[in-house]
Amino acid sequence: MQIRRLTADDATAYRALRLRGLREHPDAFTSSVEEDETLPLDASARRLRSEAQTFWGALDGDGMLLGIVGLDRETRAKNRHKATVVGMYVAPEAAGRGCGCALLEALVACARQEGLELLVLTVTEGNGAAAALYERCGFRSFGIEPRAIQVDGVAYGKNHMYLDLRQSE
Protein backbone atom coordinates (compact mmCIF):
# COMPACT_ATOMS: atom_id res chain seq x y z
CA MET A 1 0.00 0.00 0.00
CA GLN A 2 1.38 3.39 -1.02
CA ILE A 3 0.59 6.48 1.08
CA ARG A 4 0.74 9.80 -0.76
CA ARG A 5 -0.76 13.27 -0.76
CA LEU A 6 -3.83 13.65 -2.93
CA THR A 7 -4.16 16.38 -5.55
CA ALA A 8 -7.08 17.76 -7.55
CA ASP A 9 -6.32 15.02 -10.13
CA ASP A 10 -7.54 12.48 -7.53
CA ALA A 11 -10.92 14.21 -7.14
CA THR A 12 -12.99 11.47 -8.84
CA ALA A 13 -11.51 8.62 -6.78
CA TYR A 14 -11.53 10.71 -3.59
CA ARG A 15 -15.19 11.67 -4.04
CA ALA A 16 -16.22 8.06 -4.73
CA LEU A 17 -14.39 6.68 -1.69
CA ARG A 18 -15.65 9.44 0.59
CA LEU A 19 -19.25 8.89 -0.48
CA ARG A 20 -18.80 5.15 0.08
CA GLY A 21 -17.57 5.82 3.63
CA LEU A 22 -20.44 8.20 4.36
CA ARG A 23 -22.95 5.67 2.98
CA GLU A 24 -21.52 2.63 4.81
CA HIS A 25 -20.92 4.39 8.15
CA PRO A 26 -23.57 7.11 8.64
CA ASP A 27 -22.91 7.21 12.40
CA ALA A 28 -19.16 7.71 12.01
CA PHE A 29 -19.18 11.07 10.19
CA THR A 30 -20.83 14.43 10.72
CA SER A 31 -21.28 14.87 6.96
CA SER A 32 -24.12 12.89 5.41
CA VAL A 33 -24.05 11.05 2.07
CA GLU A 34 -27.36 12.67 1.10
CA GLU A 35 -25.83 16.15 1.37
CA ASP A 36 -22.42 15.32 -0.04
CA GLU A 37 -23.62 13.48 -3.14
CA THR A 38 -25.41 16.63 -4.28
CA LEU A 39 -22.05 18.45 -4.42
CA PRO A 40 -20.35 18.56 -7.84
CA LEU A 41 -17.01 16.89 -8.56
CA ASP A 42 -15.47 20.36 -8.59
CA ALA A 43 -16.23 20.73 -4.87
CA SER A 44 -13.93 17.73 -4.22
CA ALA A 45 -11.28 19.17 -6.55
CA ARG A 46 -11.44 22.50 -4.71
CA ARG A 47 -11.11 20.70 -1.37
CA LEU A 48 -8.02 18.83 -2.59
CA ARG A 49 -6.55 22.10 -3.91
CA SER A 50 -7.29 24.14 -0.79
CA GLU A 51 -4.34 25.62 1.10
CA ALA A 52 -6.08 25.16 4.45
CA GLN A 53 -6.58 21.43 3.92
CA THR A 54 -4.32 18.55 2.93
CA PHE A 55 -5.47 15.01 2.16
CA TRP A 56 -3.59 11.73 2.03
CA GLY A 57 -4.59 8.54 0.30
CA ALA A 58 -3.67 4.86 0.65
CA LEU A 59 -3.42 3.24 -2.78
CA ASP A 60 -2.96 -0.41 -3.69
CA GLY A 61 -0.52 -1.73 -6.30
CA ASP A 62 -3.00 -0.94 -9.11
CA GLY A 63 -3.37 2.66 -7.96
CA MET A 64 -6.83 2.04 -6.48
CA LEU A 65 -7.63 4.50 -3.69
CA LEU A 66 -8.65 2.51 -0.59
CA GLY A 67 -8.05 4.90 2.32
CA ILE A 68 -8.27 8.63 2.95
CA VAL A 69 -7.66 11.16 5.71
CA GLY A 70 -7.44 14.94 5.84
CA LEU A 71 -5.82 17.74 7.85
CA ASP A 72 -7.94 20.87 8.23
CA ARG A 73 -5.88 23.83 9.47
CA GLU A 74 -7.13 26.76 11.49
CA THR A 75 -6.21 30.13 10.00
CA ARG A 76 -6.78 32.78 12.67
CA ALA A 77 -3.88 34.19 14.68
CA LYS A 78 -5.08 32.71 17.96
CA ASN A 79 -5.65 29.15 16.80
CA ARG A 80 -3.43 28.51 13.83
CA HIS A 81 -1.19 26.32 15.99
CA LYS A 82 -4.02 23.77 15.76
CA ALA A 83 -5.54 21.56 13.07
CA THR A 84 -8.31 18.97 12.87
CA VAL A 85 -8.05 15.43 11.55
CA VAL A 86 -11.03 14.88 9.22
CA GLY A 87 -12.58 12.25 6.99
CA MET A 88 -10.66 9.12 8.01
CA TYR A 89 -11.94 6.13 6.06
CA VAL A 90 -10.39 2.81 5.03
CA ALA A 91 -12.43 0.53 2.75
CA PRO A 92 -13.26 -2.83 4.38
CA GLU A 93 -11.20 -4.80 1.82
CA ALA A 94 -8.10 -2.90 3.01
CA ALA A 95 -8.96 -2.68 6.72
CA GLY A 96 -6.83 -4.28 9.42
CA ARG A 97 -3.63 -3.99 7.37
CA GLY A 98 -2.23 -0.82 8.88
CA CYS A 99 -3.63 1.70 6.36
CA GLY A 100 -5.36 3.85 8.97
CA CYS A 101 -2.20 3.99 11.03
CA ALA A 102 0.00 4.76 8.01
CA LEU A 103 -2.34 7.55 6.89
CA LEU A 104 -2.26 9.10 10.37
CA GLU A 105 1.53 8.80 10.55
CA ALA A 106 1.87 10.71 7.26
CA LEU A 107 -0.51 13.39 8.53
CA VAL A 108 1.26 13.73 11.91
CA ALA A 109 4.70 13.93 10.24
CA CYS A 110 3.47 16.74 7.99
CA ALA A 111 1.85 18.58 10.91
CA ARG A 112 5.09 18.37 12.89
CA GLN A 113 7.17 19.55 9.97
CA GLU A 114 4.91 22.58 9.60
CA GLY A 115 5.32 23.43 13.27
CA LEU A 116 1.72 22.71 14.23
CA GLU A 117 1.38 22.12 17.97
CA LEU A 118 -1.97 20.45 18.40
CA LEU A 119 -4.18 18.01 16.50
CA VAL A 120 -7.80 17.45 17.44
CA LEU A 121 -10.51 15.13 16.16
CA THR A 122 -13.84 13.65 17.13
CA VAL A 123 -15.02 10.03 17.15
CA THR A 124 -18.63 8.95 17.55
CA GLU A 125 -19.22 7.19 20.85
CA GLY A 126 -19.28 3.46 20.24
CA ASN A 127 -16.87 3.54 17.28
CA GLY A 128 -14.33 1.35 19.08
CA ALA A 129 -12.19 0.62 16.01
CA ALA A 130 -11.57 4.29 15.23
CA ALA A 131 -11.02 5.24 18.89
CA ALA A 132 -8.50 2.38 19.23
CA LEU A 133 -6.70 3.53 16.09
CA TYR A 134 -6.37 7.09 17.38
CA GLU A 135 -5.26 5.95 20.84
CA ARG A 136 -2.66 3.69 19.26
CA CYS A 137 -1.33 6.76 17.44
CA GLY A 138 -1.10 8.76 20.67
CA PHE A 139 -4.40 10.66 20.75
CA ARG A 140 -6.11 11.04 24.12
CA SER A 141 -9.73 11.78 25.00
CA PHE A 142 -10.60 15.07 26.68
CA GLY A 143 -14.34 14.74 26.89
CA ILE A 144 -17.60 13.65 25.39
CA GLU A 145 -19.95 16.06 23.66
CA PRO A 146 -23.44 14.69 24.34
CA ARG A 147 -25.91 14.36 21.45
CA ALA A 148 -23.36 15.83 19.01
CA ILE A 149 -24.98 14.31 15.91
CA GLN A 150 -28.36 12.83 15.06
CA VAL A 151 -28.71 10.04 12.51
CA ASP A 152 -32.22 8.89 11.58
CA GLY A 153 -33.54 10.44 14.77
CA VAL A 154 -30.97 8.75 17.02
CA ALA A 155 -28.53 11.00 18.90
CA TYR A 156 -24.85 10.07 19.31
CA GLY A 157 -22.19 11.62 21.51
CA LYS A 158 -18.79 12.56 20.13
CA ASN A 159 -15.55 11.74 21.88
CA HIS A 160 -13.13 14.69 21.48
CA MET A 161 -9.48 13.64 21.26
CA TYR A 162 -6.21 15.54 20.97
CA LEU A 163 -2.55 14.92 20.26
CA ASP A 164 -0.07 17.42 21.70
CA LEU A 165 2.68 17.49 19.08
CA ARG A 166 5.08 19.26 21.44
CA GLN A 167 5.05 16.31 23.86
CA SER A 168 4.76 13.20 21.69
CA GLU A 169 7.27 11.78 19.25
Please give the residue ranges that form the binding site for ligand COA (CB under 6 A).
Answer: 21, 25, 28, 88-90, 95-101, 123, 127-130, 132-133, 136
Residue 98 vs 138, nearer CB to ligand COA: 98
Q: Which candidate, 67, 103, 60, places its Cα nearest to that of 85?
A: 103
Residue 3 vs 118, nearer CB to ligand COA: 3
Instruction: Answer yes or no: are the C-beta atoms of 168 and 112 closer than 8 Å.
Output: no
Residue 70 vs 100, nearer CB to ligand COA: 100
Shortest spacing between CB 71 and ligand COA, in angstroms:
14
Residue 28 vs 45, nearer CB to ligand COA: 28
Query: Which residue number places its CB atom closest to ligand COA?
Result: 100
By DSSP bridging, strand 140-151 and strand 154-164 are: antiparallel
Shortest spacing between CB 77 and ligand COA, in angstroms:
28
Shortest spacing between CB 55 and ligand COA, in angstroms:
14
Instruction: Answer yes or no: are the C-beta atoms of 5 and 56 closer than 8 Å.
Output: yes
Q: Give the Cα separation of 138 and 129 in Å (integer).
A: 15
Shortest spacing between CB 123 and ligand COA, in angstroms:
4
Task: Name beta bridge partners: 84.
Answer: 72, 120
Residue 8 vs 84, nearer CB to ligand COA: 84
DSSP for 105-116, written as a single string:
HHHHHHHHHHT-
Torsion angles phi and psi, residue 104, rounded to 5? -65, -40
Shortest spacing between CB 48 and ligand COA, in angstroms:
19
DSSP 45: H
